[in-house]
Structure 1
Amino acid sequence: MAAIGSATAVARELGISAGTAGTWARQAGLGSKRLPHPRKAEYVALRKEGHSQSSAAAQVGVDVRTCRDWDYGTVKRPNGRRYADGRVVDYTTGEVTIGDVVLRPSTQRIAVEKQLHPRFLTVEDRERIADLYREGCSLREIGRRLGRPASTIKREIDQNKQDDGSYRPFAAQRRAAEQRPRPKASKLATRGRLREYVVSKLALQWSPEQISHTLKVEFPIDESMRVSTETIYQAIYVQARGGLKREISDALRTGRTRRKPHRAPDARQSRFRDPMIMISDRPADIEDRAVPGHWEGDLIVGERNKTAIITLVERQTRYVMLGHLPAGHTAPEVRDVLTALITTLPGHLQGSLTWDQGSEMAEHKKFSIETGLPVYFCDPASPWQRGSNENTNGLLRQYFPKGRDLSIFGPEDLELVAQRLNGRPRKTLGWETPAQRLAKLVLAD
């Protein structure tokens, strides 16, 4: 590194990350000096020739965001950026400094007339809102004239209404501009009563949700003692937001150091393009096994999930059928093999099929059209809803151990294993075999 002079350049030559190279340099007692990017001179030359930012970035093979920093004279820092006009933005605290002067958000130079995305209100929009509001127009009428939802107009007036009830457009525009700069400091990034309260309750192993709601109860009037559940989680988990020490995460019940996203079952995105019929909509006569001909299905997979076998179990008789998947277990392949298995059965034994939400059933609608069988899907992570099939898959592992290449088993091997399982007497069947029970159903038709 002493010869090259830059940890970043050394990292490029060795094919390692710049952070790793910098750590090695510090451990070796070498200072780390940042050299110009090797393609920056080429990029600057292309810009002088009249090339656009995106075109020049593409030609030199550098990300356009890096080229934008070169154009604006922005320098990246460990916790923020230094801009060409001397401003230094600290992403941890949200402070902006010029030299020794700290610019708070309220004293930053803000562009009141800056052109923003059309979804934001402009100063002209606010002037029209003020005029129409003085004329006594309703919120819906103002929204119609501006092409905005009435809720936007209501929120704008409520947030910027003066003590005398008037709405002043330029004051509202200045307030919006002052709130615009990012990043904003977290409520828990500075010391104070709110932060001390949150830390003390976390030490008692309260959850962030309990803390957030208890604040409203204990301090019903003090608006400064408010913090959302998400803000507390960000202060613990997200280093860029800062505020609380990572050690505090040990007080959380889960002990996680990262946030795990959750989504309500009714808010989950559908797994397949075609709508699923959930198991909750399955008729009661299927649930209590009163009517034969209803099947549970699944795959047992082999080494590295590359090979698989289809398993079908009839709910009343526990009769097993196995499907051979020699080439793979994609949705079309599973659909074709399932169709072939089901069509070998008598009509009165073709009732329904229950499956989990595996991707192999993406073509369930086509399968239902071809066979006439409705397919019911279990809830996520609910294997007990296919209890007979899960139990059978456990028995099949005696013949098809986990980690084996299942493609070596041909149709004859699968038929032999199915016959052995169907020939075993079952306690739940009064010590009859599944084959005997199924034979009675076939003969009774």
Structure 2
Amino acid sequence: MPGGRLTQQDRQRIATGLADGLSYAEIARRLERPTSTISREVSRNGGPGGYRPQQAHRATVQRARRDTPAPPRAAGPPGGAVEEEIIELAVRSGMPRMTARVHVDLLLAEDGRRTAAELTRRLKVSPASVSVAVNFLVQAGYVRRERDPRRRRDIYVVDDEAWYHSIMISARQTLEAARAATAGAETLGPDRPEGQRLARAGAFLERVTLDMMESADRWRALLA
């Protein structure tokens, strides 16, 4: 239809016109389109010497799909948006998505406590997935494991102290890396460029990490 979007047939006629040496204005006249439409179509799809009608049509369809607004999401529970936002932030910081989901579910639990069975049921995932996630969280200090002796099951707990412990665990790991870099610098020799590079990195990481640990200790009372 003249004035509407270009069809695949229109694009084939454009390609034929270019092959015949027609000007943009002449092709536009034959298709009953503005010359600017033809010029824009050709320039964004390979130019006069590289225009391919099938590829141009596919590219246009893909662009249209990307530009189509997503349908509005159904309203969920009040905490749903907050939960998804925290999960996305955790994923962007490097945490595996499943681990982030488990962590956030614990964070938003009223008492900060869940069993593995509760996590499996709530998140609709396998027990193995939950096990991997909580092991990561426990090792990183985000969560602690408590044993229920009466029912012989583990309970996973997140509390305010978890933030302190997670920072300290991460800091100690960074401090080990800093000191390994310093030791590597001594092995390579302080006069060699790679030795100097490692020495600078080790000194920087050690100083920053010690400052972080000191700050965590100083402000720990805020979590009480």
- TM-score, normalisation: structure 1: 0.17
**Structure having the larger proportion of residues in strand:** 1
Q: Which has the larger radius of gyration?
A: 1
**Structure having the larger proportion of residues in helix:** 2
Q: Which has the higher contact order (CA 8 A, sep 6+)?
A: 2
